[in-house]
Structure 1
Amino acid sequence: MDDKYLKRTVNKEVIASRYLPEGERKLRVFLPPGYNEVLSYPVVYCQDGEDFFNFGRVATISNQLILDEGIEPFIVVGVEVDKKVRTEEYSPDGSRHAEYVRFFAEELIPFIESKYPVRRDAASRLLAGDSLGGTSSLHIALNHREMFTQVLSLSGAFFDCSLDLMELETDLSWLDIYMTVGLQEDAYETMDRGVHNFVELNRDARALLEERGAKVSYLERDGKHTWGFWQKDLPAGLAHFLDR
């Protein structure tokens, strides 16, 4: 791979939190080529931040999109998570979910917007996540639609608790969501919720979202519930929102 893609700036941050039990959260912040504090940038907020950087190669992919595809430079914020409490934070029926949503909207966003030259309108913020991270991204948007209108979901884990909340919505015309799922995810064994057909879960979520007026870009293709699949789809998912 060309060295120009591998030369990148990723800052590590620690943000204090009143809402999270551990009192803080680690972040990774990718700064684009030519980063300049007098400019302003769109920003991508990723759940599972460590995985997006290590397995999704989001910094390298972002460099490629900016340097080769002519996409306007953007910043990526990866929000790390303790895998032991990931379900409790990310699932809408999780014991820590409400606090995590508050942390995201009331602490994380102001922290980034006070420290980095990012744009502060909903059209310049993108929420991204894989599996339960995709679910969490959607529910953060549903709770704070004044802040977030764009969601990138890679094989979202749209279990019944998630679908039930979608059913309660009446107007999702403000939402723009990109969904992808692998056709070999039809019997995926989750860590703590049994075996699920992620293809059917995503088809059900798509139907509910479209019925309520959301703009849905939906893709099914060969792939398993792994970063090997999601990494390949990440460039198209990011470009869907950022190449405008």
Structure 2
Amino acid sequence: MNLIKKRITSNYCNREFEVHLLSAANEFKEEADILYVQDGGDYLELGEFEEAFKELSIQYPEQARNLIAVLISPGTSEERWQSYNRKGEEFDNYLFFFTEELMPKLEAEFNAKIVKRGLLGDSLGANISLNIAMRNPEIWTHLLLQSAAVSKEDLQELRKKEKLHWNVYQTVGIFEDEFVSTISNERLYITTLNKEMYCIFKDKQVNIKYVEKEEHHLWDFWRRNLPEALDFFAAGQYENIPDEHNCN
């Protein structure tokens, strides 16, 4: 495994971001699959991302040769909320940083044809992942959303989109409506809004795997679920996934 730490300056956000690049290969030849990970530091420390990535490279050695994970840390809890939440003062600036500064810089350095381009995030990290994808829907192939802390406004933006050619892995705990944000002190109704988001995805003909678990809004849940989410990305496009949840 190759783990490289970089610091990237954003003119939009007027600060630096810590970024980790994780790959199984030393270099790419002609093609690459890129997974952008929000809350990168937490995924490495709390989510055991590197361990899950190693297991993935053993299970899918051919795919792992072309796979690189870009793990972006948002800063402090307050900076995270301001960047990842639609109500945050840095929300638009973070979207510009991600799409106009971070991605072009790194993908130019990779110097490879991007075959799969995905986003992974937990809670508000999943929310900003969704919003990044909605900015340029045509360039994204995969979304991996763990307990996405979306709002009604985010879902309204999703409804405005036409048919989306995405592969989505969406998971949520059935007890997550209980969660209250430590920043805003709001109950986020995560389970309820994830069910609603799933139905919007189905309406947009998204290729989706939706998983509900008897879990709360905790890193322990996302850590244990991470290998399944990464497997969805590495295994390629899923077709005709059974619809086991009723949207009527």
Q: When the two structures are superposed, what TM-score results if normalisation uses the length of structure 2?
A: 0.87
Instruction: Provide the secondary structure at the position in 1 that maps to 2:4.
Output: strand
* Residue equivalent to 1:204: 196
Equivalent of 1:81 in 37, 57, 74? 74
* Residue equivalent to 1:146: 138
Deviates more, 1:107-116 or 1:228-237: 107-116
Query: Residues 157 and 172 from structure 1, CA distance in 2 versus in 1: closer, same or farther, beyond 3 angstroms?
Result: farther
Equivalent of 2:210 in 207, 218, 225? 218
Identical-pair percentage: 26
Query: Residues 118 and 225 from structure 1, CA distance in 2 versus in 1: closer, same or farther, beyond 3 angstroms?
Result: farther
* Residue equivalent to 2:243: none
| Unaligned runs of at least 5 residues, structure 1 | 1-7
Which aligned pairs between 1:158-173 and structure 2 lie closer than 5 A? 158-169=150-161, 171-173=162-164
Q: Find the aligned partners of 1:194 and 1:164 in 2 and give their Cα distance.
A: 19
Equivalent of 1:98 in 92, 96, 112? 92
Q: Is contact 2:60-2:234 (8 Å) kept?
A: no
Q: Find the aligned partners of 1:193 and 1:205 in 2 and give their Cα distance.
A: 23
Q: Find the aligned partners of 1:236 and 1:164 in 2 and give their Cα distance.
A: 28
Which aligned pairs between 1:40-51 and structure 2 lie closer than 5 A? 40-51=31-42
Structure 1 residue 87 displacement after superposition: 1.8
Does residue 235 of structure 2 align to residue 243 of structure 1? Answer: yes
- The residue identity in structure 1 corresponding to 2:79 is V
Q: Find the aligned partners of 2:217 and 2:103 in 1 and give their Cα distance.
A: 29
Structure 1 residue 138 displacement after superposition: 0.7
Query: Residues 71 and 230 from structure 1, CA distance in 2 versus in 1: closer, same or farther, beyond 3 angstroms?
Result: farther
Equivalent of 2:11 in 4, 14, 18? 18
| CA deviation profile, 1:127-186 (whole Å, cap 9, x unmatched) | 0100011111011000012322321100001112212212322x1332221100012213
- The residue identity in structure 2 corresponding to 1:197 is Y
Q: Is contact 1:175-1:215 (8 Å) kept?
A: yes
Equivalent of 2:108 in 114, 123, 146? 114
Deviates more, 1:224-233 or 1:86-95: 86-95
Q: Find the aligned partners of 2:191 and 2:60 in 1 and give their Cα distance.
A: 31
Q: How many residues align structurally?
A: 232
* Residue equivalent to 1:61: 52
Q: Find the aligned partners of 2:31 and 2:43 in 1 and give their Cα distance.
A: 23
Structure 1 residue 39 displacement after superposition: 5.6
Q: Find the aligned partners of 2:215 and 2:114 in 1 and give their Cα distance.
A: 35
Query: Residues 120 and 154 from structure 1, CA distance in 2 versus in 1: closer, same or farther, beyond 3 angstroms?
Result: same
Query: Residues 185 and 118 from structure 1, CA distance in 2 versus in 1: closer, same or farther, beyond 3 angstroms?
Result: farther
Equivalent of 1:229 in 206, 221, 227? 221
Structure 1 residue 27 displacement after superposition: 0.3
Q: Find the aligned partners of 1:188 and 1:15 in 2 and give their Cα distance.
A: 33
- The residue identity in structure 1 corresponding to 2:179 is Y
Equivalent of 1:132 in 114, 124, 127? 124
- The residue identity in structure 2 corresponding to 1:103 is F
Q: Is contact 1:153-1:177 (8 Å) kept?
A: yes
Q: Is contact 1:42-1:118 (8 Å) kept?
A: no
Indicate the RMSD between aligned Cα atoms, in angstroms: 1.8
* Residue equivalent to 2:181: 190
Q: Find the aligned partners of 2:185 and 2:71 in 1 and give their Cα distance.
A: 25
